[in-house]
Amino acid sequence: MKTSTIRDGQGRILGNTASFSNGDTVARDRSGKILGRSSETFNNTRDRDDRITRNNSADANSLFRK
């Protein structure tokens, strides 16, 4: 598992991502709540309510954008 910290343009921590060996990534906000996940297997990104937010793109970082 590889963990990366996500920061905004001013260096403030927005959250983190945890990448797994199977290609899945889980995104969490700075308080540790799950924002969503991405899957390279299914090539999509889902939000915390399991709705597809990006199809044909496994981009967990898109979950941090408002």
pLDDT at 66 over 60: no
Q: How much is the pTM? A: 0.81
The predicted-structure confidence for 2-54, as pLDDT tens digits, reads as follows 999 999 899 999 999 999 999 999 999 999 999 999 998 899 999 999 988 88
In SS3 terms, the chain reads as: CEEEEEECCCCCEEEEEEECCCCCEEEEECCCCEEEEEECCCCEEEECCCCEEEECCCCHHHHHCC
